[in-house]
Amino acid sequence: MKARQDGSGGKPAAVNPRFTGFGGQLIQTHRALRRLAFPRSRWIDILLLPALIFCCTLLAWPLIAELWAAIIGFWANRLGDDMTLSMGHSAFPGIRSVPYAYVEAALPNPLQWWSGMLISTTLLLATTLLPARMLPISYALRVIGLVQLASQLYFYFWAAEFPYQSASSISALAQASMVLILLTPWIYGLLYNIFDFGIARKILLSLLAVLYLTVLTPFQYTFAAWLMLRYSLLWHPLIYLLCSSLIQFGALVGFYSWAMSWQRRE
């Protein structure tokens, strides 16, 4: 058993061999196993800060709705008469309506179907040519290609039974984004504010994420509406499954990862 001096000049203190390496050095406890210092004042960061940002965002929703309406209206006027600005009714307390791009996309014609089939097949085959160091990108592209290939098969056999409409889907996605914007401070409150990064940085992280989603949403779903209007409902499953909330949650994870690299005060 290894030993070390206890600091009093007396008999060396025993060290448990489970905590020493093969060279006798002390093995540090992994950060995943360390106990987090959690003073009671930290509950202010977890509960009060998210509540404050949530209330400010809710009060600012009329301004956010005006911004969304201006962005959607700007692009609707330039992408054709078949796209218009509309307001979706919201059941969320304090929010009456959510702007979105209204389009009535049609089912795919033969040319659109074959074009989609060519794109999805080419995408799947192209991933086999990527080098091994790009394996994560290959997996992501294969998921996209497989989802679109499944959409191709569905619209080939059961196109007339497709139950969704472009307008209602874009409206639902816009309202889901509105809810996510309001929940963002609470998400970070439970996952980030438990650490000792300081109040200023915690407020900054939530504000940056809220502002990013606020600007991203109208552009994201206006483009999605135009894509379905221009190239049919064939692309609806891909947009709904992989190009909607998944992108927004990915942005939140990116902000979180960046903020976790900041130096802690403790």
Q: Do 3 and 101 fall within a single domain? A: no
DSSP result, 209-262: HHHHHHHHHHHHHHHHHHHHHHH-GGGHHHHHHHSSHHHHHHHHHHHHHHHHTS
Q: Do 100 and 13 fall within a single domain? A: no
Q: Is residue 49 part of a domain?
A: yes
Q: Is residue 141 part of a domain?
A: no
Q: Do 47 and 101 fall within a single domain? A: yes
- Number of domains into which the chain is organized: 2
Q: Do 74 and 173 fall within a single domain? A: yes
Q: Do 214 and 181 fall within a single domain? A: yes
For the stretch 235-262, pLDDT in tens is 999 999 999 999 999 999 999 999 999 9
Separation of CA 224 from chain center: 16
Q: Is residue 120 part of a domain?
A: no
Q: Do 190 and 216 fall within a single domain? A: yes
C-alpha distances in angstroms, 139 versus 136, 143, 146?
Answer: 5, 6, 10
- Residue ranges making up the domain that contains 60: 42-107+162-260
Q: Do 186 and 256 fall within a single domain? A: yes
Q: Do 173 and 253 fall within a single domain? A: yes
Q: Do 82 and 98 fall within a single domain? A: yes
Q: Is residue 144 part of a domain?
A: no
For the stretch 61-111, pLDDT in tens is 999 999 999 999 999 999 988 999 999 999 898 899 999 999 999 999 999
Q: Do 17 and 88 fall within a single domain? A: no
State the pLDDT at residue 219. 97
- 256/195 Cα distance (integer angstroms): 12
Residue 11 has pLDDT above 70, yes or no: no
Q: Do 29 and 46 fall within a single domain? A: no
